[in-house]
Amino acid sequence: MSNAVQDSALETLLLPVFEGRVAWPSDGALFLNARDGWPLHRQPLPGLVAEQGFKPAFDALQRSGINLLDEADDRRFPLVLLLPPRQRSEARALYARALSRLTDGGVVLACQANDEGAKSAEADLAKLIGPLTVMSKNKCRVFWSQPGNAVNAALVDEWRDLDAVRPIADGRFLSRPGVFAWDRIDVASKLLAESLPGDLRGRAADLGAGYGYLSAELLSRCAGITSLDCFEADARALALCRRNLDAESKRLPIACHWHDVTSGLPGRYDVIVCNPPFHAQVGAERPDIGRRFIEVAADALNPGGRLWLVANRHLPYELALNTGFDAVNTITQQSGFKIIEAVRSRKAGGR
Ligand SMILES: C[S@@+](CC[C@H](N)C(=O)[O-])C[C@H]1O[C@@H](n2cnc3c(N)ncnc32)[C@H](O)[C@@H]1O
């Protein structure tokens, strides 16, 4: 699948380095919430180490030869670059972590797109480390400083745990800022859960499992499910999913996979449930991702296997559904969403 989307924030992040306004340190630099793209390859960036918890972005960095941060590597760096996430509590906690990784006299360099909240991101960093140097380009703001003694240590302490794990939904699930619909049960997923028929049975998978809501509902509504594989790209969501399904995992085999679903699935299933993503990390709506999830589900289902899917009503998934499945039924349309059951032929190799 093509991911050739222009990444203006990444391009702008590196501008101060390319223009010689921020010196690339000989001891290397740490890049938090890193993404791959041509700016990382335009000139040598010796000692660059990247961290990324979203599997497709992690895989892209790895494929292009960027060194990825080892869990055991607790070094401090003279330059920490970051692309703050959109969710503000998560971004504030990431700033606090960036500072904890900075050597004395080191530089923090961050960039965000204007339409993703660049002004707030800049203001937040300034609260932590004082006045910043700022450049505005490519509809993004890039800002940096060598904070030295200007760090507001009390605020760093406060922000460090802003994205901590906590109970939501009256204590039924654990979640944290930054994961999909982190502080609630997503309305589309709830509609899908309420539509699931009790007779779904056999080996099941949840594609894009998030913190595990849909999986938990599938297990509580369908007693005939014999095993469950949860596939999720966001490492933090997956860790929550594992914890949220812990009690169920004593009853049946449950495996949680840090996995890019668009790359295909390693197993075969009788049931797949899915509320597919329709955005990538960067840029506008991406219905191609949802279509790819549907193709992957069709390929991974056994003859007679059933996909239960929820989608925004306007998303064009019909062709992918009709190509991959032998029977496609719209079960309901409500509140801007459609619930679809798609069934594979009972004949082996159906498609
Ligand atoms: C619409 S959310 C659904 C979350 C969850 N199933 C729920 O019901 O609340 C889609 C999920 O897919 C994940 N995701 C996005 N791209 C993915 C990919 N390529 N492979 C696997 N998961 C992905 C997102 O991190 C997100 O958790």
Nearest CA to ligand 1 atom 5: 210
Distance CA 48, CA 25 (A): 10
Ligand 1 atom nearest 277 alpha carbon: 10
CA dist list (Å): 156 to 103, 132, 313 = 16, 17, 43
Distance CA 338, CA 343 (A): 16
pLDDT per position as a tens digit, 15-27: 999 999 999 999 9
CA nearest 231: which of 201, 266, 258? 258
The pairing of strands 133-137 and 202-207 is unpaired
Work out the pLDDT band at 1, boundaries 50, 70, 90.
Answer: very low
Of residues 4 and 84, more confidently modeled:
84
> Per DSSP, which regions of 33-169 are E strands?
48-51, 67-68, 77-82, 102-113, 133-137, 140-145, 166-168
Range of weakest confidence among 95-109, 270-284, 291-305, 318-332: 270-284
Distance CA 103, CA 303 (A): 58
Report the percent of the chain where pLDDT is more than 70.
96
* Contact (CB, 8 A) for 193 and 214: yes
Nearest CA to ligand 1 atom 14: 208
Beta-carbon contacts of 26 under 8 Å, excluding residues fewer than 6 positions away, are 46, 47
Mean pLDDT of 47-65: 97
Q: State the distance from the centre of ligand 1 to the C-alpha of 233, rounded, in angstroms.
A: 7
Mean pLDDT of 255-284: 91
Ligand 1 atom nearest 188 alpha carbon: 8
> Per DSSP, which regions of 180-268 are E strands?
202-207, 225-232, 254-258
pLDDT per position as a tens digit, 178-215: 999 999 999 999 999 999 999 999 999 999 999 999 99
Return the best residue to mutate from 242, 261, 262, 273 for the ligand 1 pocket (most ligand atoms within 8 A of CB): 261
The residues lining ligand 1, judged by C-beta closer than 6 Å to any ligand atom, are 56, 180-181, 186, 189, 208-210, 213-214, 231-234, 237, 260-262, 275, 277
Pick the CATH number of 8-160 from 3.40.50.12280, 3.40.50.11610, 3.40.50.720, 3.40.50.150: 3.40.50.150
> What does the block give as tokens for 186?
């997503």
**Each residue of 33-54: b (16+ CB within 10 Å) or e?**
bbbbbebbeeeebebbbbbbbb
CATH architecture, range 166-343: 3-Layer(aba) Sandwich (3.40)
Work out the pLDDT band at 5, boundaries 50, 70, 90.
Answer: low
Q: State the distance from the centre of ligand 1 to the C-alpha of 248, rounded, in angstroms.
A: 21
Q: State the distance from the centre of ligand 1 to the C-alpha of 231, rounded, in angstroms.
A: 8
Distance CA 321, CA 295 (A): 8
As annotated, the residues of the chain forming the CATH 3.40.50.150 domain(s) are 8-160, 166-343
